[in-house]
Amino acid sequence: MNAPKKLTTGDFINSPKVIQNLQRLEAAFGAGGSRLVISDVLDKDGHQYVNLVQKGGGVLGVALLGYTYALEQMGIRFLRLAGTSAGAINTAMLAIIGKKEDPKSVKVLEAVAGLDFFDLVDGRPIAKWLTRKFITKRGFLNKLKAWWLGIGIFYTVLLVTTFVCLWLLPHNSPMLHFTQTLVIVLLVATLLLGGVVYYITRLLKRLKCSGYGINPGNFFYDWMKDQMQQHGVNTMEDLVNKATQPVPGMHLRTTNKQGTDQLSADVTFIASELITENKIEFPKMCNLFRPPSRINELHPAGLVRASMSIPFFFESYFIYGIPREDAAIKAAWLETFGLEFPPGEARFVDGGILSNFPVSIFYNPAIEVPRLPVFGIDLDDSDPADNSGDMGAWTFMGYLSRIFNTVRNYYDKDFQLKNKVYSKGIGTILLPEFNWLNFFITEEEKLALFEKGVAAAADFLLGFDWQSYKRDRSFMQSTLEQHSNRKGD
């Protein structure tokens, strides 16, 4: 049987659906977005700049590529970048490739198109089986429950029947042979169940020793490290230098009293640190774990690995040997989190636990009139039934998902509710038919995700109004200042 065809970059960008959506944009804004106005910050070639936040979402991150590809085709570039989990991966790639003014999504696509996603599932065979059966297939939880219920009923009936026969039937009964057979079957079933329980216990013990994750995440770390090396990023210093490259010929379209002062590029990956229970912004907070003279002991690929450490699916990411007695380390922890005694090690899981859509990090209270917008790419794979107000229609997994999403999205949602103008810069990619943990994703599904990302970006740009965004952002700031002056300290 022939292996399925591996799609090339050309298959993605030449997809009829992709071309159709780009034609919609060109009809509205001209080739390359020549008539599009979405920012007042431009470079020498006329590219417009935005700050970009990308949401986490497992394999759904392919849709993020489609979205940024469409933005770049319309002459949009990214000054500051931030992302969580899958969003951190695309954020990292956009930060390390080429120069600020270069289009990058095609090169990111080349790397992702050549990646077999199931290679990321690098645990033991049981991990691969669990991923294939339990995680990537909808409805498998119900099947598993049915299996265990059936096994429980069978064992209970067997146990009761055996004891009834032993208790009621005389030893010289013609049914003695039947009773002996029941006893043997019961013993075999008990041994089998005992073996299963013992094996599960061993797995749970091993899970604990491996950071409560079924996959080490080593493949992803090595892949990310290789991608960085290909683009000249081998140290933390290299990453910062790449991410903070100046924009050639940066200027403003209109007069703004802030000018281009303090308009500088950077990159942020969000991770959740469990020992001190804090949200970590990398690389900004690397000074918590190493003093400036030793900062290159941390490899930048580890920052992305920390951000995408999906609990239970991937092992936690650790930073060991924090020099907790170092004066610079002590000062950093005290200033950042108010902790007088830094930990000796740090343990990270997916940044989405605390902030899956970190739009808030780009809020600057000193800005009265914005010079560029904050764009966000939201991934929404919720089932319409589980997303409805009809609680009777919720599935069990939908119920658990709502609990998890309530916790992880509260901080980001709270910021957006209090600063509603930022919602104007957010485009949503609706993906209810996809499973964010389906690492068995097919080439056709990758293409469909990319196409949906492009379509969502087209819809967003066609509805975005920069002048309205500026007015609302300025009004929001003046309102906040009035409230602050009224309340005092």
Residues labelled catalytic: 85, 350
Which tokens is 245 given?
């490259």
Burial of 268 (0-12, 13-18, 19+ CB in 10 A): buried
Instruction: Tell me how far apart the alpha carbons of residues 266 and 51 are, in angstroms, rounded to a whole number.
Output: 10
Residue 311: cis peptide before it, omega within 30 degrees of 0: no
- Three-state SS sequence of 104-155: CHHHHHHHHHCCCHHHHCCCCHHHHHHHHHHHCCCCHHHHHHHHHHHHHHHH
12, 109 in Cβ contact below 8 A? yes
Bin 312: left if φ > 0, else alpha if -120 < ψ < 50, else beta: left
Instruction: Tell me how far apart the alpha carbons of residues 54 and 90 are, in angstroms, rounded to a whole number.
Output: 8
Give the residue among 468, 365, 370, 469 at the shortest CA–CA distance from 422.
469
Q: Look up tokens 């939201």; give the residue.
A: 378
Q: How many residues does the chain have?
A: 489
Give the residue among 319, 314, 309, 383 at the shortest CA–CA distance from 352.
309
Which tokens is 40 given?
């007042």
Which tokens is 155 given?
């064992």
Q: Look up tokens 């009621």; give the residue.
A: 168
The DSSP bridge partners found for residue 52 are 81, 375
